[in-house]
Amino acid sequence: MPSLKMAQALLPQSTSRDFVPGYRLDAKGRQAAEDDRLSLLEQIFDPHSRRRRELVQPGWRCLEIGAGRGSMAVWLAKQVGESGHVVATDIDLTYLKRLDVPNLEVRRHNILNDSVDALGLSSFDLVCSRLMLFWLPGKQETAIQRMVECLRPGGWLVDEDGDWGTIAPVDPSHPFSVRYHGAYRSGEWWTERGYDPTFGRKLSVLFARCGLENIRHEVSAEVVSGGGPWARWWQ
């Protein structure tokens, strides 16, 4: 059962294998495949993500870190209206640069390495991200702190991240069950590459360390079938 952990707040062990943690889904050279993956991601997660951002009001300034194809950035732009403004950032603008929304600004930005001054310190009512922090092993708290620096006093930080520690096949008699275990190995695929498959459940702790208050943490999980959007995205 895959699950997605969400935290909202008001203002890995080493192995013998030589894997280097890093973003493993770079679109360069595989744009069509990555476009399809991101499209499935939007289909699966956008309904939940919109609900978790319903606090957004007209006139707000919003910042999305790691905006992907931009579906949520476009939705935010509609929520804040003409009097509001949305900034969508990513390290790869392959898909975001296709957007043409008057109150939506697209910027190439790395939350770890680039100055947050350029985004606007203490200027956003909402800073959000989805399935981004997971890819920054050992640096998630630094990234969260830099996101907090962009919030105005009283602003909200919303993050949704995966907790892959809950994933398991529900039918051990299925002919593909053994093959699945052979590939996934109870999350060892993640840990031996430096990632934490249970990262999602630790968001509230990191939020508290960064000085945030009124922290809310929730989890959603689904039982899914092969061949559907979840299975295709996971594949």
Residues of the chain with pLDDT under 70: 1-27
47's tokens: 């309904």
174's tokens: 């299925």
Please name which of 140, 8, 49, 34 lies closest in space to residue 96, comparing C-alpha atoms: 34
Please name which of 71, 182, 63, 209 lies closest in space to residue 123, comparing C-alpha atoms: 63
Q: How far is CA 192 from the centre of its chain?
A: 21
Max CA pair span of the chain:
56
Domain ranges of the chain: 3-13+27-166+198-234
Q: What is the DSSP letter of 84?
A: -
How far apart CA 108 and CA 66 sit, in angstroms, is 9
CB 217 within 8 Å of CB 203: yes
Fold exhibited by the domain 3-13+27-166+198-234: Rossmann fold (3.40.50)
How far apart CA 94 and CA 12 sit, in angstroms, is 31
Question: What is the pLDDT at residue 224?
Answer: 86
How far apart CA 195 and CA 173 sit, in angstroms, is 30
Question: What is the pLDDT at residue 119?
Answer: 96
Question: What is the pLDDT at residue 226?
Answer: 83
pLDDT digits 0-9 by tens, 20-71: 555 556 667 777 888 898 899 999 999 999 999 999 999 999 999 999 999 9
Q: CA quadruple 98, 103, 107, 113: dihedral positive or negative?
A: negative
- What CA–CA distances, in Å, run from 85 to 146, 151, 185? 20, 14, 44
Question: What is the pLDDT at residue 185?
Answer: 82
Question: What is the pLDDT at residue 186?
Answer: 80
CB 134 within 8 Å of CB 195: yes
Question: What is the pLDDT at residue 35?
Answer: 86
